[in-house]
Structure 1
Amino acid sequence: MNRAKRAVIFDLDGTLIHSLPDLTIAVNKTLAMAGRAPLTDADVGPMVGDGASTLVTRAFDARGGLPDGNIDLWLERFLAHYEPHAADLTKPWDGVVETLEKLKAKGIALAVCTNKPTKATHDILSVLGIDHFFAVVVGGDDAPALKPNPAHVEAVLTRLRVGADEAVMVGDSVNDVLAAKGAGLPVVVVSFGYSKNPVAELGASYVIDDFRDLYEAVVGRQ
């Protein structure tokens, strides 16, 4: 990146946190209500990233389709299982906390831009003790459109009061790359998230294998 950045915008699932175990449990409880067989973490991982409604739809599609075509009903049931337990097993990836501390100490504003519902997002950040790092959090139900639509990222920029040339996006999926590029931001992709596609093919500005490497990518070698 050619100039110092004033803000870093993060995706949540697969980028900041390993949330798959809790998501899989909630998915399987929802499927069980319809008499469907459970899915594994490996099944659910590629389904994550496009919002809760799409996750539920994909889970049922993998098990014969929605029983009555009523996604609103099954989304409500999924959230009833998931939201009270969204951080039971979920943890930040290794190196996340120390990197957030270093970035914030440098005066860089931090934000979360996730397709996950806002309540679950705030609950997870709070339980994990990392909510204080973020000046802005825009969940999927608090955004004008979901990623990959750049309007989601643009809403975060507006709340941060920074320009696209002053920020960088950090994510793990093609949705993050497309949303960031559409909004005019460079994008760093982590290699250890839930991407459906090989990360080398996503078109990111940088790919990092260790979250700690993000600091140098944003701030430069000190």
Structure 2
Amino acid sequence: MTVTANPRLLIFDLDGTLIDSRQDLCNSVNATLAHLGRSALPDAVIASYIGDGASMLIRRALGDPDQVEESHLNQAISFFLDYYRIHKLDFTYVYPGVLEALASIRGAHPTVPMAVLTNKPVHPSRDICAHFGLDRFFFQNYGGNSFHTKKPDPHGIQTLIAEANALAPNAEPITPAQTVMIGDSDVDILTARNAGARSLGCTFGLSPHALAAAQPEATVDSPTEWPATLFA
């Protein structure tokens, strides 16, 4: 199943799409809960909270946000970010096949720009991509604090389309319909839909349970399927 004919811009989610960061995120949340004198949560529960940025992750881990004082919440978020900044690479790894798939796409389609759009804060996102050598494939990497809104708001995709067009000012402008968002959660699929772009769902990621309901144009079970699915 193809996503769209001749895509001209590829935008990748990070957590659950390019990297498996589940354990480091879970450990950082539980370290935050321990710091606050709270009981740890099962990793599976924390993993189900991932996808909407650090602030929402901590809000969900703390339970009903209406029962948490704002100062207490801000303290928890700050501790989490500080802890995660140190421990973000303890167990995180690039999914098998990602580097090879990106290299294949770059080799076969060198004029197609690729970027990262994640709800993770931008600095750890860029640090992680640089650590694993992913950054060489992407002309831009935007995080959840790069704009005034996060995914599924379309602003990030719209900005990346504009920037990709600026890279080749003499070429026919890239349209949303020629843009594909690749991600593992309903948030990514909704972001694409809100921007008028196409979507490719990754069932191997952190939120496969949410993909079916979100109805991406196509799905893959491994990063090795990206080249053939995107450019069939």
Superposition map of 1:14-163 within 5 A? 14-61=16-63, 66=68, 68-70=69-71, 71-105=73-107, 106-107=109-110, 108-161=112-165, 162-163=174-175
Instruction: Tell me, in whole angstroms, the C-alpha distance in 1 between the residues paired with 2:4 and 2:204.
Output: 26
Post-superposition offset of 1:124: 0.7
Instruction: Tell me, in whole angstroms, the C-alpha distance in 1 between the residues paired with 2:6 and 2:189.
Output: 20
Instruction: Tell me, in whole angstroms, the C-alpha distance in 2 between the residues paired with 1:12 and 1:20.
Output: 12
TM-score by length of structure 2 reads 0.88
Amino acid across the alignment from 2:90: D
Q: Equivalent residue of 2:46, what SS?
A: helix
Bigger mean CA deviation after superposition, 121-130 or 151-160: 151-160
- Compute the RMSD of aligned alpha carbons: 1.9
Q: Equivalent residue of 1:15, what SS?
A: coil
- Segments of structure 2 that go 5 or more residues without pairing to the other structure are 166-173
Instruction: Tell me, in whole angstroms, the C-alpha distance in 2 between the residues paired with 1:41 and 1:128.
Output: 24
Post-superposition offset of 1:156: 1.8
Amino acid across the alignment from 1:176: D
Amino acid across the alignment from 2:7: K
| Contact 1:46–1:196 (8 Å) recurs in 2 | no
| Contact 2:115–2:141 (8 Å) recurs in 1 | yes
Residues 101-145 of structure 1: CA deviation (Å, up to 9, x unaligned) = 111122121100101100110111111121111111111111241
Superposition map of 1:157-172 within 5 A? 157-161=161-165, 162-172=174-184
Q: What stretches of structure 1 move > 6 A for 4+ residues in a row?
A: none
Amino acid across the alignment from 1:56: I
Amino acid across the alignment from 1:99: A
Q: Greater relative contact order (Cα 8 A, min sep 6): structure 1 or 2?
A: 2
Bigger mean CA deviation after superposition, 100-109 or 156-165: 156-165
| Contact 2:202–2:208 (8 Å) recurs in 1 | no
Instruction: Tell me, in whole angstroms, the C-alpha distance in 2 between the residues paired with 1:61 and 1:184.
Output: 34
| Contact 1:5–1:167 (8 Å) recurs in 2 | yes
Q: Equivalent residue of 2:206, what SS?
A: coil
| Contact 1:143–1:155 (8 Å) recurs in 2 | no
| Contact 2:12–2:182 (8 Å) recurs in 1 | yes
